[in-house]
Structure 1
Amino acid sequence: MLTIGDKFPHFNLTATVSIESLEKAFFPITNDTYKNKWLLVFFYPKDFTFVCPTEIKGFADLNSQFADRDCQILAASTDSEFVHLAWRKDHKDLRDLPFPMLADINKDLITALGIKTNDREGVAQRASFLVDPEGIIRFVYVTDGSVGRNPQEVLRVLDALQTDELCPCNWHKGEETLHVA
Structure 2
Amino acid sequence: MSLINTEIKPFAATAYQNGEFIEVTDANLRGQWSVVVFYPADFTFVCPTELEDLADHYAEFRKLGVEIYSVSTDTHFSHKAWHDSSEAIGKIQYPMVADPTGTITNNFEVMREGQGLADRGTFVIDPEGRIQVMEVTAEGVGRDAAELLRKVKAAQYVAAHPGEVCPAKWKEGEKTLKPSLDLVGKI
Same fold (TM over 0.5): yes
Superposed CA RMSD: 1.3
Whole-angstrom distance in 1 between the partners of 2:111 and 2:134: 15
Task: Name the CA shift for 1:87/1:129 in 2 (closer, same or farther; >3 Å).
Answer: same
When normalised by structure 1's length, the TM-score is: 0.92
Name the CA distance, whole Å, in 2 between partners of 1:145 and 1:93. 19
Shift of 1:121: 2.2
Which SS does the other structure have where 2:67 is aligned?
A: strand
How far does residue 2 in structure 1 lie from its aligned partner after superposition? Answer: 5.1
CA deviations over 1:23-45 (Å, ceiling 9, x no partner): xx200011223541011000000
**CA deviations over 1:48-104 (Å, ceiling 9, x no partner):** 000000000111111111111111100010000000000011101111312000000
Normalized against structure 2, the TM-score is what?
Answer: 0.89
Detail structure 1 runs of 4+ shifted over 4 Å in the superposition: none
Q: What is the aligned partner in structure 2 of residue 128 from structure 1?
A: 122
Q: For residue 73 of structure 2, what is the amino acid of its counterpart?
A: T
> Which runs of 5 or more structure 2 residues have no equivalent in the other structure?
159-163, 183-187
| Structure 1: distance between partners of 2:70 and 2:178 | 36
The one of 132, 135, 138 equivalent to 1:138 is: 132
Please tell me the residue identity of whatever aligns with 1:132. Answer: D
1:26 is aligned, of 8, 13, 21, to 21
Candidates 141, 148, 153, aligned match of 2:147: 153
Q: What displacement does 1:18 show?
A: 2.4
CA distance in structure 1 between the aligned counterparts of 2:125 and 2:2, rounded to whole angstroms: 12
Residue equivalent to 1:91: 86
1:178 aligns to what?
Answer: 177
- Tell me the SS of whatever aligns to 1:138: strand
Please state whether the residue corresponding to 2:43 is helix, strand or coil: coil
Aligned to 2:56: 61
- Cross-structure match for 1:4: 4
Q: Is the 8 A contact 1:2 1:114 kept in 2?
A: no
Structure 1 segments unaligned to the other structure (5+ residues): 20-24
Query: Do 1:81 and 1:103's aligned partners in 2 also have CA atoms closer than 8 Å?
Result: yes
Greater radius of gyration (CA):
2
Name the count of aligned residue pairs. Answer: 175
* Alpha-carbon separation, structure 1, partners of 2:148 and 2:100: 26
- Could you tell me the percent identity over the aligned residues? 36
